[in-house]
Structure 1
């Protein structure tokens, strides 16, 4: 039996793939090592979203190669740019996610059983509901790794969620490259996400559910139904991550995003109509090759208008093999200035959200340990609340408690537990 070490980079979907890999390794009788130096095989699950990440992956692969006996590389960079590892002189087996257990098992037969207990990340259960997407964005290299959408049946995903709850999960994270289009390949181009969420929330148990990234186009077609699903199910965090990427329809067209700004706004308005308190998370790419000053100002105006509670700002980075890589890029100074301007507005907007929470009482779920003796919690809208001196106060991951919001930093709030509630 082998000792393994696994490292995962990138999105929650990647972490879900790693959980599945680790499940099969443990089913085969293998067990985790204390670190790469003690492992018979190291597994690197990679990300390649931007060029800096790519360089980090190559550096980490080289380090792992020196620390352990055998190295298996998988994930988005492995599948989209597998040749990069050999070109960098790294001796690794580069394989698809599904092939990792066989590569690491070295020919030994796994002993998976239907009732094998899922692997949790503390009290968080990660549930990848599909692989791949229906988009063809001109800047995205991940599509080369994940391929077209492949959605398991609703019942299969519900069974996986039930197993996570039975294993002790108090938070289930629904993940995928694009959760909004789950089921398009099974349901004639209409999302099955509302049905899946209703079914998961009907599982007996005390747990919460967070929906991962859903592109605006997939959500738009079921926005009324999906918003009603959120309103009807207390187990669902009132949280939607819908990356708009630009406030300019011209840039969105050049990016080959499937939505227009107006459709994104219709999604936001629909959720506003159905939910009293919810969190909108969105992403912006600044400095896309065709982005003009006017386009950038349109993005700034959209951010100012919608005022999302969570915002990811990324400078455009050319990815090899994508159509956008062949476009004449903007200068680094322009991208830096636009990124700085949007990041400053982001801090203002997000800071206002947490400032508005001060003095309120919120019920929160303690999810994971924080720094020092703190615990990171989430309220019903998935806003992060930090409880300090958790050990002293008897608060640990998995607990549900009522707190009074006493202060905040830009990206999170501080909560004081209310005794007796």
Structure 2
């Protein structure tokens, strides 16, 4: 099997040594090829119509069509968006119809057996259709000798910036591999977002853990963090491009920076300084394991209270039993997990925490499982991701004595029933919540918004509402989300319902204390306090006109309409008064001149 470096260095038709592909600016719009087939024949693919196409190797590089399929986490999704951006920057078109593509790029996940099985099925389908295949992601990086990867090109998780070269060589008929680790891919590579309003921002790769069941560590490796400056610069860029949600993504967000001498709170505080004060762009902190946030709980809580940060955190516990956690090598106890949840819930109003559970880990007893059930019942989490244990090849847990399959399934069903019996959103009916709308629901009817606690709110409205913020009244609640109606689309200057209900009187010199003013203490009592507070409809001494300064009590006891009428009337009197003063002054001046003239004549 040839390596891509050898092909590019001396192979016929390859690029000359040192050749690097052009990298355009971030945010390029991809060319998307729509299928010309009717919907009834959209997935029809036969040898005859395939053979009628010109061989990809005879086409000009950069003119072919690529199908990209992504499995796994948000980090994988971000990698796919970067690869799509580079391909479109070089001229390739993207399609969502596999049969229309000249090459398939499959970005894989190795966390669970089902996702890897789905990858294998898709590879077999591609082989049957004679499609050139490039396999990316954690599976080839962590299991490079896998049988399913024979005869296809592969690219590692830290080589995504070389995807154009690999695609070119694969279309020429070469089988290439690029798996050696190198420096982190740049954050300013061209990118095509799946959702234009959501930026998935990887802050580091790999982790510091050594969980006995985890295959991802084999693929993503040891912790490697991006610098604070590079991440802040990326945040500035995506905000300028109109992104409304920034998701910090990582295999373990809490471990960020420990390899470069910084930590997560330092990064978070640097990022929130860049978020618009009008709350038009929100930040979502990614998954973090308990060990690495225990020492920073108060600092992280302070960030979560920031108006532009969702009060939501994904903290996997995996088991409520300390003996199972020890066997997993999770490096924390169930008590320490409870400390994380209790502290954040106490310090952050409206805090929402999601967690993960693995049922049937090797050696798990009935007592161990009952402790897990008790933990979930104690906190009644709104989101719990429950999975059965899947032994991953090459991990220590794969060699441990397994729990019987029927017991694993029974425990998974039991915990699922406990979890689904919760009603976490009861009591929200009738409340008004600010939501940020970024997606279209899978039913194709509703738009998806999220509250500050990242509770999903389904509303109806035009697609033009995507990327906006609104006030929604909750009309009904379900198990997984709530339904609402939009009562106000917010401009950047609007405030939330609570603030509108607590509107206080305008500042004036008549105010007793600054605590009753809507403006700041600095402007309280000043003559122009009405302008400083920008309160429409308020009547201040400045609004009363010139005569108002001499008759401040004239409006007392009057209604708002009467005050406005008086103000209008005084405006006319003011003009007459000024005119009268001018005429009087002129008359006095003439008289003085006349008297002075007579005195001089008498002399």
Using the size of structure 1 for normalisation, the TM-score is 0.91
**Matched-pair contact (CA < 8 Å) for 2:203–2:225:** yes
Q: 1:221: how far off?
A: 2.0
Q: Following TM superposition, by how much is the alpha carbon of 1:241 offset from its aligned partner in structure 2, in angstroms?
A: 0.3
- Asked which structure has the greater CA Rg, the reply is 2
Q: Distance in 2 between matches of 1:220 and 1:28?
A: 45
Q: Is the 8 A contact 2:436 2:469 kept in 1?
A: yes
Query: How many residues matched?
Result: 407
Give 1:372 deviation, angstroms: 2.4
State the partner residue of 2:258. 184
Q: Which residue of 2 aligns with 1:210?
A: 284
SS in 1 for 2:425: helix
* Aligned pair partner of 1:219 in 293, 298, 301: 293
Name 2:447's counterpart in structure 1: 375
Closer, same or farther: CA 321–129 of 1 in aligned 2, 3 Å: same
Q: Pick from 320, 323, 334: which aligns with 1:247?
A: 320
Q: How does 1:309-388 map to 2 (within 5 A)?
A: 309-349=382-422, 352-370=423-441, 371-388=443-460
* Bigger shift: residues 25-34 or 408-417: 25-34
Cα distance in 1, alignment partners of residues 474 and 187 from structure 2? 44
Residue 302 of structure 1 is matched in structure 2 by 375
Q: Is the 8 A contact 1:209 1:236 kept in 2?
A: yes
How many Å separate the matches in 2 of 1:27 and 1:420? 36
For residues 97 and 489 of structure 2, what CA distance do their matches in structure 1 show? 42
Q: Deviations over 1:115-168 (max 9, x none)?
A: 776433231111011110111000011111100010010111111122211111
Offset at 1:345? 1.3
2:83 is matched with which residue? 21
Q: How far did 1:204 drift?
A: 4.7
SS at match of 2:467: coil
- Which residue in 2 is equivalent to 1:94? 154
CA contact (8 A) 2:134 2:170 kept: no
Provide the secondary structure at the position in 1 that maps to 2:226.
coil
Q: 3-state SS of the aligned residue for 1:234?
A: coil
Change (3 A) 1:75 1:420: closer
Check the 8 A contact 1:387/1:417 in 2, yes or no.
yes
Normalised by the size of structure 2, how large is the TM-score? 0.64
Matched-pair contact (CA < 8 Å) for 1:122–1:368:
no
**What's the counterpart of residue 288 of structure 1?**
361
- Secondary structure at 1:365 match in 2: strand
Secondary structure, aligned partner of 2:448: strand
Answer yes or no: is 1:195 the counterpart of 2:266: yes
Alpha-carbon contact 1:242-1:281 (below 8 Å) kept = yes
Tell me, in whole angstroms, the C-alpha distance in 1 between the residues paired with 2:130 and 2:445.
33
* Structure 1 residue aligned with 2:527: none
Deviation at 1:414, TM superposition (A): 0.6
Bigger drift between 238-247 and 69-78 goes to 69-78
Kept in 1: contact 2:211–2:330 (CA 8 A)? yes
- 1:134 is aligned to 208
Contact 2:188/2:234 (<8 A) preserved: no
2:493 corresponds to 1:416: no
Structure 1 runs of 4+ with >4 Å offset:
112-118
When residues 48 and 420 of structure 1 are mapped into structure 2, their CA distance, relative to the original with a 3 A threshold, is closer
Q: Distance in 1 between matches of 2:98 and 2:453?
A: 38
Q: CA deviation at 1:395?
A: 5.7
| Cα distance, 1:39 vs structure 2 | 2.5
Unaligned runs of 5+ residues in structure 2 are 1-61, 172-184, 491-603
8 Å contact 2:243–2:281 — kept in the other structure?
Answer: yes
Secondary structure at 2:465 match in 1: coil
Give 3-state SS (helix, strand or coil) of 1:221's partner: helix
3-state DSSP of counterpart to 1:254 = helix
In the alignment, does 2:95 pair up with 1:36? Answer: no
Is the alpha carbon distance of 1:234 and 1:68 closer, same or farther for their aligned partners in structure 2, counting shifts above 3 Å?
Answer: farther
2:123 is the alignment partner of 1:61: yes
Contact 1:217 1:259 in 2 (8 A): yes
Give the alignment's Cα RMSD to 1 decimal.
2.2
Give the deviation of 1:22 after TM superposition.
Answer: 1.9
Classify 1:234/1:65 alpha carbon distance in 2 versus 1 (closer, same or farther; 3 Å): farther
1:308-362 alpha-carbon deviations (Å, 9 max, x no partner): 221111111111111101111111111111111111111123xx21223222111
Structure 1 distance, partners of 2:431, 2:200, is 30
Residues 145 and 296 from structure 1, CA distance in 2 versus in 1: closer, same or farther, beyond 3 angstroms?
same
Per the alignment, do residues 307 and 89 of structure 1 end up closer, same or farther by CA in structure 2, a change over 3 Å counting?
closer
Give the 3-state SS of the residue equivalent to 1:285 in structure 2: strand
Q: Which of 1 and 2 has higher RCO (CA within 8 Å, sep 6+)?
A: 1
